Amino acid sequence: VVARECTRCSSFQAKTIAQCIPTGFIEKISCATSKRDELKSCRSAVMEAHVFWRFVGTMMCVAAIFAVLVVCRQRVLDRKALEKVRKQIESI
């Protein structure tokens, strides 16, 4: 039975409890048969969602930056092509 939900480890717990090391979160489990309390490493759903949306936001920003760069580069290439055609027409 879960006695305490998944919570973030304090800095002291992170140094002293081995279960805190993999994820930084622990939950307290009460075993009904042995009547012992155990600590188990867990993943926080809220933290996972936060990390996911941060990743999505970062990727959207990177995509927007590269889209702007592509548009700017395309304009430069269009100007160069137009200038080249203009020079060819003037030389005739």
Helix (H, G, I), strand (E, B) or coil at 31: coil
The contacts of residue 29 (CB under 8 Å, 6+ apart) are 1, 2, 3, 37, 38, 39, 40
What confidence tier does 83 reach under pLDDT thresholds 50, 70, 90?
A: very high
Q: pLDDT tens, 38-66?
A: 888 888 888 889 999 999 999 999 999 99
Radius of gyration of the chain from its Cα atoms, rounded to whole angstroms: 29
pTM for the model: 0.61
Q: Residue 27's beta-bridge partner residues?
A: 40
The answer on pLDDT for 75 being more than 90 is: yes
Please name the fold of domain 2-43. Answer: 3.30.720
In the block, residue with structure tokens 């592509």: 70
Residues 6+ apart with CB under 8 A from 90: none
